[in-house]
Structure 1
Amino acid sequence: MTADPFAPHTAATTSGTAASASGLTKVHGTGDARVTALDDVSITFRQGEFTAVMGPSGCGKSTLLHCAAGLDTPTSGSVRIGTTELGTLDDRELTRLRRDRIGFVFQAFNLLPTLTALENITLPSAIAGRRPDREWLDQVVAMVGLSGRLGHRPAQLSGGQQQRVAVARALASRPAIVFADEPTGNLDSRSGAEVLGFLRDSVRDLGQTVVMVTHDPSAAGYADRVVFLCDGRLVDEMTRPTPDRVLDRMKAFDTRSRTS
């Protein structure tokens, strides 16, 4: 019997790779308006690792995340979630893969205002017609500190609590990988630190894989690895980052841009 390519963790567990991109290029516009957002980027996101993606404004960070998550289509190159090549999937299959094997956390929270916190967390499972794994759900809810807030609607929650709901929703289906695009951008420093701690704990305690786009060296300090983009190209990588080391590297980009 052939294994279901969309089954959570199957491909990532056997390969050690949660997601990868090869020769990824993304071009917007034509002629004088042509802009190359990504220029032949190849990268691997390893299972059970927290990767931060950084670089100057306009360097292609969010474009890389959106292409890797199947939210945008590259001009050329390939993207895989586990061993599944996204370019081989039709729209229905791609929707199913994103629903079943990818979690998303965005800056704007993206919660439905008429649903409770619990209903927002379990919404992807409800859409898929599945019952959530109660034991796993309880573990995720406890980890993000929402046990006493599940009956509240988004308007009754602080920004930090709303982002906790979004993190729990991303983790609830046990995805192969979670993509987070500036997840603390709308939060104060304390709430942002809590959310980053939850993402880090999901990697350390739950074996999750997280890829986060950020401009904040302090946020990148929570990651296991930082990769740096500049002008649409992957130019550097740092393991065991600290905010000071990341800041020094980002200052080098600023110096380069002023002298180029």
Structure 2
Amino acid sequence: MHPTTGIAAATTDLSKVYGSGETRVVALDRVSIAFRKGEFTAIMGPSGSGKSTLMHCAAGLDSFSSGSVRIGTTELGTLNDRQLTQVRRDRIGFIFQAFNLLPTLTALENITLPLTIAGRRPEREWLDRVVSTVGLSQRLGHRPGQLSGGQQQRVAVARALISRPAIIFGDEPTGNLDSRAGAEVLGFLRDSVRELGQTVVMVTHDPVAAGYADRVVFLADGRLVDEMTHPTPDRVLDRMKALDTRSRTS
């Protein structure tokens, strides 16, 4: 079997260093990780552990100091700005804590925006499937201001899914939501993995959110220190407490 078969994205010996001399900070320290196709991965770790930096580098949003990042078999470090923009547009979906919707557009227009920018028309069947997966069929004509926070984030999830990206990255996607709305959005992400075959990678500090994932990877001090499959909120919380204790005593 070819080593990259079944891998949506991967990093190898990925390092990110800010500053130099006395102000030098190592945000990522030789992190190697693979995100498998059709899997939901949560990235966790104490504050300052490098989890958001890892996601931003893996998603091509941030440069890195050494090592490599691949989306499928495409090496991001070898691309120029135009090529990198194209990979981000065509093969990567993003969901942010701030929903980043355009207030003057309807829900439907916000969902199809990435395709509009790329000059492509949505496939009707796929659009219908995405909209029904995130439960927005009755809300497509509403503008963001007429939607609840949970509904707005569901629009953002649908927007991330619409271009059938190889992988979706979520940065604390339920951070601005109450627990009920957060559970809805996480349920939709879970469904997109199970029913649409989507690959999702999510940075979160919330053990309940991590409980929706297939696996959780833990970072501390810029390094990958642990991994858990079939997570439960209680197991994740215990592991996080151990990491917090370790980071305070080190």
Determine the structure 2 residue equivalent to 1:52. Answer: 42
Work out whether 1:29 is the aligned partner of 2:19: yes
What are structure 2's unaligned runs of at least 5 residues? none
The alpha carbon displacement at 1:200 in A equals 0.4
Determine the structure 1 residue equivalent to 2:225. Answer: 235
The alpha carbon displacement at 1:259 in A equals 2.4
SS in 1 for 2:101: coil
Aligned-partner Cα distance in 1 for 2:159–2:46: 30
- Percent identity of paired positions between Structure 1 and Structure 2: 83
Aligned-partner Cα distance in 1 for 2:244–2:117: 45
Q: Of the candidates 112, 122, 131, which is equivalent to residue 132 of structure 1?
A: 122
Deviations 1:98-120 (A, max 9, x none): 01000000000010111111001
Letter in 2 for 1:140: V
Determine the structure 2 residue equivalent to 1:101. Answer: 91
Deviations 1:28-83 (A, max 9, x none): 11111111100000000000000000000010000000000000010111000000
Letter in 1 for 2:226: D
Aligned-partner Cα distance in 1 for 2:125–2:88: 23
Determine the structure 1 residue equivalent to 2:206. Answer: 216
SS in 1 for 2:11: strand
Determine the structure 2 residue equivalent to 1:116. Answer: 106
- 2:189·2:200 contact (CA, 8 Å) conserved in 1? yes
Aligned-partner Cα distance in 1 for 2:105–2:52: 28
Letter in 2 for 1:111: L
Aligned-partner Cα distance in 1 for 2:124–2:132: 12
Q: Point out 4+ residue stretches in structure 1 off by more than 6 angstroms.
A: none
Q: Of the candidates 76, 80, 84, which is equivalent to residue 86 of structure 1?
A: 76
Determine the structure 1 residue equivalent to 2:139. Answer: 149
SS in 1 for 2:138: coil
Aligned-partner Cα distance in 1 for 2:160–2:247: 36
The alpha carbon displacement at 1:253 in A equals 1.1
The alpha carbon displacement at 1:159 in A equals 0.6
What are structure 1's unaligned runs of at least 5 residues? 1-13
Aligned-partner Cα distance in 2 for 1:220–1:41: 20
Letter in 1 for 2:20: T
Work out whether 1:244 is the aligned partner of 2:197: no
User: What TM-score results when the alignment is normalised by the length of structure 1?
Assistant: 0.94
Root-mean-square deviation (Å): 0.8
SS in 2 for 1:148: helix
Letter in 2 for 1:96: Q
User: What TM-score results when the alignment is normalised by the length of structure 2?
Assistant: 0.97
Letter in 2 for 1:117: A
Letter in 2 for 1:105: I
The alpha carbon displacement at 1:217 in A equals 0.3
- 2:220·2:247 contact (CA, 8 Å) conserved in 1? no
Q: Of the candidates 34, 43, 60, which is equivalent to residue 33 of structure 2?
A: 43
Determine the structure 2 residue equivalent to 1:255. Answer: 245
Deviations 1:119-162 (A, max 9, x none): 01000000100011110110000111111111111111111000
Number of equivalent positions: 247
Determine the structure 2 residue equivalent to 1:20. Answer: 10
Work out whether 1:162 is the aligned partner of 2:152: yes
